[in-house]
A and B are shown apart, each in its own frame.
Chain A
Amino acid sequence: MEKPFRRRDLLGIRNISASEIIGILDTAENFREVNTREIKKVPALRGKTVINLFFENSTRTRTSFEIAAKRLSADAVNISVSSSSVAKGETLVDTALNLDAMDPDCIVVRHGSAGVPHQLANVSRAAIINAGDGANEHPTQALLDAMTIREHKGSIEGLEVAIVGDILHSRVARSNIHLLTKLGAKVRVAGPGTLVPGGFSHFVEKGMTVVPHIEDAIRGADVVMILRIQRERQDSAYFPTLREYSIHYGLTNERLELAKTDAIVLHPGPMNRGIEIASEVADSSRSLILDQVKYGVAVRMAVLYLATGGSASH
């Protein structure tokens, strides 16, 4: 289908370059200042329409996108579809075509099935932004994580990053692995063998290793990224009990001692306190979980701005 106006989708981190990633992050830096003003609004997207199309429950991400759109003066419409298109009796393509017929400039989509943003991008004239698709990608999460890391570590290149937990079902892990390795970090992933199957050792061409124990990943790390145990996404038992998981794979102060003394801790939320992360770690000064949420608004402002035709900052 002809694309009548210039548009830029953000379907994932995998298919964008390091310089595009840096362009988005630099643009986000510029928007951060807007969020500290008394009047938190700029006219950058005045007259533009953004649809937040959420097929999956989300509080944080949906609110973050909505605030981002409104601070840019876009008209934001939220659509929450509790069930899939199948249950509604409408095909995914029809849903997309109907929304597209209302001439939005941008559709932000979250869906429980991998690939839905790609499928919508094939039929839609509006720019498509992936707000999380199944176990595939969650690009704005990786971008806000990167912004948080840059804020505290200056640069990403050369950093040692541990990613721990349920890699198999995690779109956050996938987007972060792509982003961090593209920007030159050394990524070590660890978790139960059922959730970090051997195939992950070939996941990206370079920059990532799968290590057998969580301690091996954390030892000497600059950044420790803890993934959420997604009880809702697992269709069968990948580990015996939450109790056993927390004992063997949870991030405790003791385990965090293995990291560099100035290591920071990230978690994409929502946290299962006492399971993948101990409360004492989550509430410590090393934990930047609320910074991540804060930077999420600036990152999404940058993504919306660039997707609807804005130019990246340099």
Chain B
Amino acid sequence: MKLLIANGHLIDPDAQENTGMSVLIEDSKVAAWIKPNEQPPTDCEVFDASGLLVAPGFIDMHVHLREPGQEHKETIASGCAAAVAGGWTSVCPMPNTDPVNDNAAITRYMIEQAEHAGLANVFPIGAITKSSDGAELAEMGEMKAAGAVAVSDDGRPVPNAGIMLRAMQYAKDFDLPVIDHCEDKSLSSGGVMHEGRISLLLGLKGMPALAEDIDAVRDILLAAETGAHVHIAHVSTKGAVDAVRRAKEQGLNVTCEVTPHHFTLTDERVEGYDTNFKMAPPLRSREHLDAVIEGIRDGTIDAIATDHAPHHHDEKALEFDRAPFGVTGLETALGLAFNELVHRGVIGLERLVEMCSANPARIFGLKGRGTLRPGSAADLTIIDPELEWTYTNADSRSRSKNSPFSGWKFRGRAVATVVDGRVVFKI
């Protein structure tokens, strides 16, 4: 079975290509690139990509798919449906399922459920410690063998520096990046939004930027000590961005990601106490958002990841301080990246594609992904950069509707998503 993605504009930062090119797919692999002046084969299905951008499939390094255990919020199938509708061909679910993904059986289960769904690829992230309790190391080697691509205790970050040190020493043996949600809970416990003028005005308990900064600096010191690859999840503070920048200057193996809501929104949105603006890390003040934008511009920040965190309406329809943290993000990420980054001139298209494909693939060591070189997996994100559209929660494929961006207008979106050579989404 052959599929020709014809007459599109190919951007493949890993292969350093940015040119008009057709891409021939055979079975689940990229078979060849066909230049505009070359004769394409005729024995194949054709997808007309004229006027469209053709990119290596986008990889979301940070999602919550809630399965197993919280299927009323999301399933792997519904999460993957939302992913491909947002242009993501692969998603990497965090281990805070119930039970926690701290062993190979659960890792395998997640991958199997994704195969049944037949939409996006799922590359699970295993736990650092058993049950993410922060005490004993989880079986990282077994999880890696089952398909895990990194380890993290995400929202329950390892508080004990000694255990984190050992986790890094151990993960390094298996080439597993250690992802940390940087939050020193002795500083942020009980907080529900960014600590600053707005939290004081609203009478809500704050989560200081300091809580993120201290943990990021600790992890970077541990990375220097161990030589492990540390990936800082969803950076949101000036201090964390600065710490990663310094670490990179020192040549340490430190990378980081940013979420669309952190490069778009500030803590002023919490006015009105809408729980769809409650997430961890919290929306920060303008100076932090500006620092995050600068980190995107200068390359300190490697990747865009959604931290897609579905919660059921009943769980979010609570008092602000009692509602769970998290917002959905798979379907709005690309629109936000266009609106806030590309159209405003922060980054160009090539860098956008790099942050969503080549860099995540490199960070997680996903061989044959993040590029469309012949022989690579036929995962493609096909984008109309000029398409104007409106996102509404009612139209979301996710089981949960807790996006703060319902009703937002965007220019630019994925119009088709190809996974393993199959068109799994098309508008």
Contacts and interface: CB of A to CB of B under 8 A. Distances in A.
Contacts of A220: none
B213 to A, nearest CB: 17
Interface string A239-269: 0000000000000000000000000000000
Contacts of A119: 273, 319-320
A92 B318 contact: yes
B201 interface: yes
A130 to B, nearest CB: 11
Contacts of A32: none
Contacts of B322: 84, 86, 113
A276 B200 CA distance: 22
A238 interface: no
Nearest to A93: B317
Interface residues of A, number: 30
A137 interface: yes
Interface in B160-201: 190, 195-197, 200-201
Contact of A116 (B190, B201, B272, B319): B319
Contact of B195 (A136, A174, A199): A199
Interface string A89-131: 0011110000000000000000101111011001000000000
Contacts of A137: 203
A92 B321 CA distance: 12
Interface of B: 190, 195-197, 200-205, 272-273, 314, 317-322
Nearest to B197: A202
Contacts of A33: none
Interface centre among B197, B201, B317, B319 (most CB of A within 10 A): B319
Contacts of B317: 91-94
B321 A134 contact: yes
Interface centre among A111, A114, A174, A202 (most CB of B within 10 A): A114
Interface centre among B195, B203, B314, B321 (most CB of A within 10 A): B203
Contact of A115 (B195, B200, B314, B319): B319
A14 B205 CA distance: 18
A272 interface: no
B196 to A, nearest CB: 6
Closest 3 CB pairs of A and B: A115-B273, A136-B203, A113-B319
9 contacts: A85-B318, A91-B314, A113-B319, A115-B204, A115-B272, A115-B320, A134-B321, A135-B205, A199-B195
A232 interface: no
A113 B200 contact: no
Contacts of B203: 114-115, 133-137, 171, 174
A268 to B, nearest CB: 15
B319 A84 contact: yes
Contacts of A134: 203-204, 321
